[in-house]
Amino acid sequence: MESNGGGGSRRLVVTQLSHIKELVKQLEVHLGGSPDLCKHLTSEISSVTERSIGMIIRSGAGHFDAARHRKRAAGDHLDSAPTPSPLSDVSDQPFKTTKKRKTMEKKKHQIRVSSAGGVENPLIDDGHSWRKYGQKEILGTKHPRGYYRCTHRHSQGCQATKQVQRTDEDLTLFDVIYHGEHTCVQKAVVTAAGKPQPERNTNAQSRLQDISSGLTVKTEGLQTTEPQQGSSWDAMPFCFSSPVSGLAPPERNPFSTPSTPENCLVASLSPSMVSPATSDSNYLCMTEPFQVGSDAEVVSTLVAVMSAPAPAMEANDLFVDRFEFDPSFPIESIDISSYFA
């Protein structure tokens, strides 16, 4: 049931993070004459990446302490709550706490999103369009929990919902709990697949390159399990699919993939991290590269997204043209180009 973390998977993660670090270094080079802020950001990205690698390495042969992490993600109140809570019981099982939840065969898992600097307005998104339908103060937590449902709930009967709650310990971290799977067909996906939008794509790709070059992935006590057949978790380490600065919202973004929250994690940037020239938030989607076991282990993935102001970066030659893969990097599992198509 519980995996020991999968040495192969861990190596993969470490490799990925190491590669990210290399990318950051490249970014720094390209930022030669850029504003100090950009350099500061890259420096921070680098340090965070190092810490991330260290955390994974320190996790050793033992598995990630998912229970502890779940408790942390759920808030301190769980310390005194012996009974399972929705947060602590992250599983494929239907909810058991309320009648409504019981009636819905909902898949659930939890991710942790860091929106760098996005304390005020995290704009957490995942390629799907959500409508907020409620907010509730949760006992034992400092911040209210927001309740979202799929925009297509009524039009397409999509039952996907999610809960977003800022963590107590870090205002830039958000616990996002997904319930159910999207049954809706995102128009943007269809559009993107059938009608390429060259202009937007070009711009978007450039921006995407900007951001992706500065991507830092921090995995906190990552739980990795051996891939399961037919799982959607074992495919792609990265999925750059969500809107980036200046792009349309997720549902209209040509980069949006038919991903579900179950396989796509998006962290968005706060306005403070966005170029003044762009009012839209920056989005960066990253497929959670880590297997979430069917036994409902929590994957708490922290994605710190950094982005230098777009105008400061002539990054068209980044990431794609200059994406230098480590020979050991599992390139076969990455198909970024497909997301630019």
**Residue 252 binding DNA, by CB under 7 A:** no
Residue 138 or 336 having the CB closest to DNA: 138
Among 80, 83, 229, 337, binds DNA (CB under 7 A): 83
Residue 14 or 171 having the CB closest to DNA: 171
**Residue 93 binding DNA, by CB under 7 A:** no
Give me the amino acid identity at 108.
K
**Residue 201 binding DNA, by CB under 7 A:** no
Instruction: Tell which positions 269-298 bind DNA, by CB under 7 A.
Output: none
Alpha helix locations (H) across the chain? 7-30, 36-58, 66-74, 99-103, 153-156, 187-194, 198-213, 337-340
Tell me the number of residues near DNA by CB under 7 A: 32
Minimum CB separation from DNA for residue 323, in Å? Answer: 34
Minimum CB separation from DNA for residue 103, in Å? Answer: 8
**Residue 135 binding DNA, by CB under 7 A:** yes
19 SS3 class: helix
What pairs with residue 177 in β-bridges? 110, 163
Query: String of b and e for 242-281 (b: at least 16 CB within 10 Å)?
Result: bbbbbbbbbbbbbbbbbbbbbbbbbbbbbbebbbeebebb
**Residue 80 binding DNA, by CB under 7 A:** no
Which window, 65-73, 81-89, 284-292, 324-332, contacts DNA (CB under 7 A)? 81-89
User: Taking the alpha carbons of 276, 281, 287, 292 in that order, is the dihedral positive or negative?
Assistant: positive
Minimum CB separation from DNA for residue 116, in Å? Answer: 21
Minimum CB separation from DNA for residue 97, in Å? Answer: 5
Minimum CB separation from DNA for residue 132, in Å? Answer: 4
Distances (CA, A) of 248 to 93, 98, 218: 35, 37, 27
**Residue 94 binding DNA, by CB under 7 A:** no
Among 63, 70, 179, 207, binds DNA (CB under 7 A): 179
**Residue 101 binding DNA, by CB under 7 A:** yes
**Closest C-alpha to 204, from 165, 176, 235, 241:** 241
Which window, 35-43, 126-134, 266-274, 304-312, contacts DNA (CB under 7 A)? 126-134
Cα–Cα dist 328/283, whole Å? 28
Minimum CB separation from DNA for residue 96, in Å? Answer: 5
Instruction: Tell which positions 140-159 bind DNA, by CB under 7 A.
Output: 140, 145-147, 149, 151
Hey, what are 24's tokens? Answer: 């950051």
Report the 3 state secondary structure along 42-100. HHHHHHHHHHHHHHHHHCCCCCCCHHHHHHHHHCHHHHHCCCCCCCCCCCCCCCCCCHH
Sites of contact with DNA (CB under 7 A): 77, 83, 85-86, 96-102, 104, 129-140, 145-147, 149, 151, 161, 163, 179
